[in-house]
A and B are shown apart, each in its own frame.
Chain A
């Protein structure tokens, strides 16, 4: 795990700033919860849904436990089809490989579709510093690029913004009418702006949702068809693929694709599900297989299951903390519950607070199409933070007192009664102070006259 000079992200403070924007927060909550409701209906429409989840989970676990073999098989078959396969240990190597390919072809402008891996690698700023113009072609991703913000959601990157925000932004950057915030007008302006960029680009870049070992090809899912334009118009197509994206067989796609968009938005399939097997007629195809901490994670018994993730975003849509606090509050490439368990793997110190940005309600685990134990992993990351001494002072004080109390039963039973009477008699500032953020927006229950244990001893022990 990489050390970081950056200060730890403060999700609590960031969330507070988002919540203060009342219209943003309520709209975000409504839209994101709407996707969760659509997901439920779509899942209910597939009688085999739970069977699909089981199979998807097994296929991913099988692949990850044979990953070296499947990677070699993929490379062999991809090469046979005329794809040029590259390997990158980390973000720097990935970016350098991409830059070398672009330089060799004299590419000055690049059109790309959404890739969380390229976000992870910080590819766009890397290429821009070297004089290459990079244009995001997904509408939400372009909004985020123009805003100089990372995506706030892995499927709908600008879902935290209102239409009026987009109108202001596009008025500045695309010359649209600042007073017109009709989404149809704004989307059309983006289409008109992007078309010439697609036609002028020297290369198109995509990520990949799945890479198929037995065929040597890969699949990209979009709703806009923007990945397809990038792959079919410029002469050069480069795809960045995380090594965990492998699946063994083409037939496995049936399992994953039936769940991916149903889990994400509630549609039966993304509008475009595109399969790339070797360079198109007259084109050139490169694939960069990227590790970037994935092989480390594979060796972690507690956290390797996160590599099963197919990036559907269902865990974000269902998360009460994500819905209220917005994706930018995580201050990381990945937001939401999946972000909480992925981000510390990239930078433990910087993301030390993220595991506490969760209510541990477990809803994420219930909706995950590949059955990742997300909420258990959040808890385990908390333990890691405690063991590494990365807890905030406020948590340390409370936790160590609690730890001592819970590990001694007499102390606990004494404390229980004292605690409950204390709620009644202690001055409020002891419970509602700045060391205890839990007290914000919350009131403690009215204390009972006796504890359960006192009641039990008085009533049932005698019988």
Chain B
């Protein structure tokens, strides 16, 4: 048996908040072991205990497991945790400020602790103090028969359970079906990016909940409530929903994504507390760990990076192409955001191409060229190499612009032109409204 006790830091005065905090912590702890319990949930100092003896090998040994528990619980705000062979002893050690209960024999460690560390003993603190008992060892040294007659049965039972002489009974925590974590901030937060520190705590909890359920999240919502004392608050609060392309439970990725989104949020008033809810949860299998180092695992996947870039620049700036069967240059290639393009892109067959030379760079708008003696000029006189290629039509492509319906009808003669400064270009000649022709630069064969 290997028990870990996690003491909640700075317990709140409100009992319901205390229980909520303890169950949030228990949900996180369930990723390590199914045997998680909350001891004394109604008392002023609840603790979460878990039994991890069976999980040691899965997490790579005692040392690695202890390291991970310490690191992640630090993110959750746990400052005191203790390891020992029984749950009651681990809680007592944690309260007494000892973290390693395996370094010495359990009796020696427990005997030194003050009597306040075990609640059942602490209830008789005054009587015991008058008897001259300060530590658990002194209580245990009293005659057993006298103890059971003078005090209630719970004291002796608790002592026996703590020393491992009597079996313990626990009510195991079961995992909630949905995740909704709340957190009251220690001080009021004015700036949205500063919410990230507190939100990360909830993200760690959510990640633990997801790991225990073998799931990943593809959308989660962060809600914040404004401080109730703030009279000029514009509303009750706000919320932010973040979606990911693939289900994930990677804390780092979720934190960075949240940071990018929070950077754009303007808080109307100081925020008092925040809540995090997992909206869309999907089944998700983590990667198998391999004995051999895998060459492909050095970086993150492109989808994750593009998602982060889209979160900062805006989704309309990360584009993937789609070829449309059109003969006019401008509408031949459409660009769409990653979310639109990714799902179907792998299955769709490639669009057919028109069989004429196409440039590799296009100008967003055709650029009208100056002419000298009917010859187009662009950084010098252009030498026409091949053409004309007539592109005509498009009356069926209607569009609305400033209330006026018009069509994208074009009538152009395309030429391939060359110049020593600007290389190979795609230019066209078209007729303007007043029976005049003009040359336009449209693309580069770069």
Report if A and B associate in a common complex: no
Residues on A lying within 8 angstroms of B by beta carbon are none
